[in-house]
Structure 1
Amino acid sequence: MYGGFTTERHERLRARVRAFAEAEARPRIPEMEATRTVHHELSRLIARQGWIGVTIDRAYGGMGAGHLAKTITIEELARVSGAMGAMVQASQLGVAKIAHFGSEQQKRTWLPAIARGDCLPTIAVTEPESGGHVLGMRATARREGDTYVLNGRKVFVGNSHVGDLHGVVVRTGPGSRGLSAFLLESDRPGFSLAPQQPAMGLHGFSFGELVMEDVRVPAANLLGEEGDGVAVAYSSSVLYGRANLTAVSLGIHRALVEETTAFAAARSLYGRPLAELDSVKQKLGRMQSSLMTAEAVAYHAVDLLDRGLPCDAELMNAKLVGVESSLDSARLAMEIHAACGLFTDRPIERFVRDAHHIYAPAGTSDVQRLRLAEVALGVAKGAQWSVRFGGGTELAAA
Structure 2
Amino acid sequence: MNEAQLRSLTPKVLGILVRRGADFAAAEDAVQEALIEAVRVWPSDAPRDPMAWLITVAWRRFIDAARADTARRRREEAVDEEPVPGPAPSADDTLQLYFLCAHPSLTPSSAVALTLRAVGGLTTRQIAQAYLVPEATMAQRISRAKRTVSDVRLDQPGDVATVLRVLYLVFNEGYSGDIDLAAEAIRLTRQLAAVVDHPEAAGLLALMLLHHARRAARTAPDGSLVPLSEQDRGRWDTDAIAEGVAILQAALARDRLGDFQAQAAIAALHADAPTAEETDWVQIVEWYDELTRLTDNPIVRLNRAVALGESDGPRAGLAALAALDASLPRHAAVAAYLHERDGDLTRAARLYAEAAHQAPNLAERNHLTRQAARLNAAARTGSAVAEHRPDSGGRGDVPD
Range class of TM-score, shorter chain: under 0.3
TM-score by length of structure 2 reads 0.26
Name the structure with the higher helix share. 2
Normalised by the size of structure 1, how large is the TM-score?
0.26
More strand per residue: 1
Q: Of the two, which has the highest radius of gyration?
A: 2
